[in-house]
């Protein structure tokens, strides 16, 4: 069985890491992630969740993978392909992190739109222990959320950081009790999936424009994407529902 698989809970795709006992990322994990995201792309799902089975999220990358690269002497292939593919999904994505969440699993979480963490969760980009820096985009995505100084601290120290600290740094969106993470996280994902999918995609596009080029770049594309939504069935039906039934009664189909 692949270490990363995708299943579907109604309109929510659930990408699950399951490689006991430590949920390590072996040589096939990123290929499996890429295949999972490709399956989501082919589906009509309207939100996606990244999570893991077991007591911890992940102990990180299996160091044997690095040793094999050293023995081959031909460098290391890029790990960013599936990360970029996950980020490019036009649906909301949510990471649900628990236990220890290290290196690659943390980097996949950082590629999601939002991160929820269990109270006891601890996070780390600890590649320094083998003389590396993160290779799947973790450094720059922490910098994007928390600023460059925080990113340098987290990566250069190689320390583990608790969920409350990373929530304060704006890396984590929300911290919830351990025994409520999956239930509440999935409920939130289902709520996202029940929303106006096309509008969510436009929100992601505007945020990305801001991150790439600041407020001016986001302002440049906002009128166009805003106007485009008036062609969607969801908006047309929701406006009519608001006028006839009042606010909060509309349902959305993602069209």
CB 100 within 8 A of CB 117: no
Which letter does DSSP use for residue 157 in this model? Answer: H
- Amino acid 92: pLDDT: 98
pLDDT at 155 over 90: yes
Cβ neighbour number for residue 74 with a 10 Å cutoff: 7
Instruction: Please compute Rg for the chain using Cα positions.
Output: 19
User: Whose structure tokens read 């919830």?
Assistant: 176
pLDDT confidence band for 56 (50 / 70 / 90): very high
Q: What is the pLDDT of residues 91-127, one digit of tens each?
A: 999 999 999 999 999 999 999 999 999 999 999 999 9
**Model confidence, pTM:** 0.95
CB 40 within 8 A of CB 89: yes
User: Whose structure tokens read 């720059």?
Assistant: 140
Q: Which residues pair with 13 in a beta bridge?
A: 8, 48
Q: What is the pLDDT of residues 182-235, one digit of tens each?
A: 999 999 999 999 999 999 999 999 999 999 999 999 999 999 999 999 999 998
The span from the CA of 150 to the CA of 48, in Å, is 28
* CB contact set of 222 (below 8 Å; sequence gap of 6+): 206
């Amino acid at each position: 069985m692949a270490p990363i698989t995708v299943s579907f809970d109604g309109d929510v795709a659930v990408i699950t890491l399951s490689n006991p006992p430590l949920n390590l990322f072996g040589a096939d994990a990123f290929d499996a992630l890429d295949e999972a995201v490709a399956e989501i792309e082919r589906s009509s799902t309207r939100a996606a969740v990244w999570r893991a089975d077991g007591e911890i999220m992940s102990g990180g990358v299996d160091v044997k993978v690095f040793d094999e690269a050293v023995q081959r002497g031909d460098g290391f292939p890029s790990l960013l392909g599936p990360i970029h593919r996950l980020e490019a999904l036009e649906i909301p994505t949510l990471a649900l992190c628990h236990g220890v969440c290290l290196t690659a699993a943390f980097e996949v979480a950082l590629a999601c739109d939002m991160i929820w963490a269990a109270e006891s969760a601890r996070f780390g980009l600890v590649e320094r222990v083998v003389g590396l820096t993160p290779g799947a985009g973790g450094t720059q995505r922490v910098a994007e959320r928390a600023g460059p100084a925080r990113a340098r601290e987290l990566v250069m120290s190689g320390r583990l950081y608790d969920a409350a600290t990373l929530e304060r740094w704006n890396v984590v969106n929300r911290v919830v009790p351990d025994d409520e993470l999956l239930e509440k996280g999935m409920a939130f994902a289902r709520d996202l999936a029940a929303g106006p999918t096309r509008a969510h995609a436009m929100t992601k596009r505007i945020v990305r424009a801001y991150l790439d080029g600041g407020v001016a770049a986001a302002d440049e594309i906002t009128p166009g994407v805003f106007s485009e939504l008036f062609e969607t069935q969801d908006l047309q039906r929701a406006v009519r529902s608001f006028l006839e039934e009042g606010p909060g009664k509309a349902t959305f189909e993602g069209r």
